[in-house]
Amino acid sequence: MSVSSVAADQSVCAPLPVLGRDVTVPLVTGGEVTYAALDYAASAPALQRVWDDVAAYAPYYGSVHRGAGYLSQLSTDLFENSRAAVAEFLDCRPDDQVVFTRSTTDSLNLLAATLPAGCQVFVFETEHHAALLPWVSSPGATGRGGRDARVTYLDAPRTPAQAVDTLERALAGRDGHGPALVCVTGASNVTGELWPVRELAATAHAHGARIVLDAAQLAPHHPVSVRDLDVDWVAFSGHKLYAPFGSGVLAGRADWLQDAEPYLAGGGASRQVARRADGGVDVEWHTTAARHEAGSPNVIGVYAIASACKALTEAGFDRLVARERELIATVRAGLAGVPEVRVLSLFGDDAPRVGVISFVVEGWNSSHFAAALSAEYGIGVRDGLFCAHPLVRTLLGGDPGGVGECGAPDGGPAALNAIRVSFGAGTPDEHVERFVRAVRELVRDGARWNYRTEDGRCVPDRG
């Protein structure tokens, strides 16, 4: 893989420069091309601004909350200032806590560990596995933290209004008046469609339930206000918000977090530890966010998230949203012009969405098509079930509870998988234009190379 400075000019149309914008990749048909990274929904490339900020801080790296030295004190200030920056980015309430985690998955598992005894959880089958699975490990199992979480999985709605109505009926019919939690995405990682979060939050609260928002796909594309949406918690990942290094956020109400046992037991979560006369140990745990941040914090990852939050805010979401809508329109119009392509959707063509679009191509296995896009056009997309197996199977008309092949090209056109293209603030116009052209040419002319299955993936046959 080589890098070409000439290719950097192609990023001029992107509002925010990202790393990798000038990387070139070889094509199986010969030559090289600037890589078109169109898999933002999995991991967005890091902003150049974020990388520069982290590089500037790196020489001053020190242990957070652990030392009296200058670098340790500097790093501690940076860490806590980053917490404040994230709270401002999310428009948190004054009493909300911002807890740093490893990812959205980690954040939702942390929240699952804090559920009060007897809590009922309501979650749509359309959720990413990060939001679908943390509440119980298997039928009949207890929730994380040893608490009995009773989970109700709600059927996929076909309109936003139906989503609200489905939740309304489920909450109205729940057992008793104990604690309840609703978990919902802000934007689907499969269809990109925006969910009626504010209305769902109002419905939850009307029935005495709380709500957590999975903003992994929403926060990189739209402003997220905890106060305006009136959600109790919000979770997101840095690696989808143009900030690498494996950090995430859980932000929201403090009471369940304070009442629960620490997510991890260890240094940083404990305020005082003392031996008892009987040989045991007494522990006083922190009541702040530190209660669930045991161990040496990932200060670089946390600072990267804060830097990305500031960069997006300064760029202006109105500008970013307007430009992304243009890219969405370009892709959707291009795919609509190919009769063999079927775009997957829950809420219909007119539903507002972020830059995430999934589709299938008649006569093609999705893994084969994605491999050809990469090998012959230098375009990186995703194929498979996108860690949202029930939703994709429902959209494809397969058995929602079945086990389908996920990406092997010899599964034939009927294999249950799809192709996902996703983009954002670092995507040049040329990348989406090349993608649309490539789809049209592949459907019309077929692949120019032979492919084979290797470890369940479709790859170019170089033998």
For residue 131, give the amino acid letter. Answer: A
What's the CA gap between 396 and 415, in Å, rounded? Answer: 10
In 153-286, alpha helices (H): 160-172, 197-206, 226-229, 255-259
Catalytic residue among 119, 309, 387, 458: 387
Measuring CA to CA, which residue among 26, 33, 15 is closest to residue 437?
A: 33
What's the CA gap between 371 and 366, in Å, rounded? Answer: 8
Q: Both tokens of residue 447?
A: 């692949």
Q: What angle do CA 312, 305, 144 make, to 5 degrees?
A: 125
Rg of the Cα atoms in the chain: 23
What's the CA gap between 379 and 36, in Å, rounded? Answer: 5
387 assigned to active site: yes
Annotate 92-138 with three-state secondary structure: CCCCCEEEEECCHHHHHHHHHHCCCCCCEEEEECCCCHHHHCCCCCC
Measuring CA to CA, which residue among 217, 203, 198 is closest to residue 171?
A: 203
- With beta carbons less than 8 A apart as the criterion, state whether 404 and 398 touch: yes
In 281-400, alpha helices (H): 299-315, 317-336, 366-377, 389-396
How far apart, in Å, do the first and last CA atoms of the chain sit? 21
Q: Which residues pair with 443 in a beta bridge?
A: none
- With beta carbons less than 8 A apart as the criterion, state whether 178 and 119 touch: yes
State how far the alpha carbon of 88 is from the alpha carbons of 95, 318, 320, in Å: 13, 17, 19
Q: Both tokens of residue 190?
A: 């499969």
- With beta carbons less than 8 A apart as the criterion, state whether 19 and 359 touch: no
- With beta carbons less than 8 A apart as the criterion, state whether 303 and 53 touch: yes
What's the CA gap between 68 and 437, in Å, rounded? Answer: 59
Q: Both tokens of residue 33?
A: 């091309």
Q: Report CA torsion sign: 305, 309, 315, 319.
A: positive
Catalytic residue set: 387
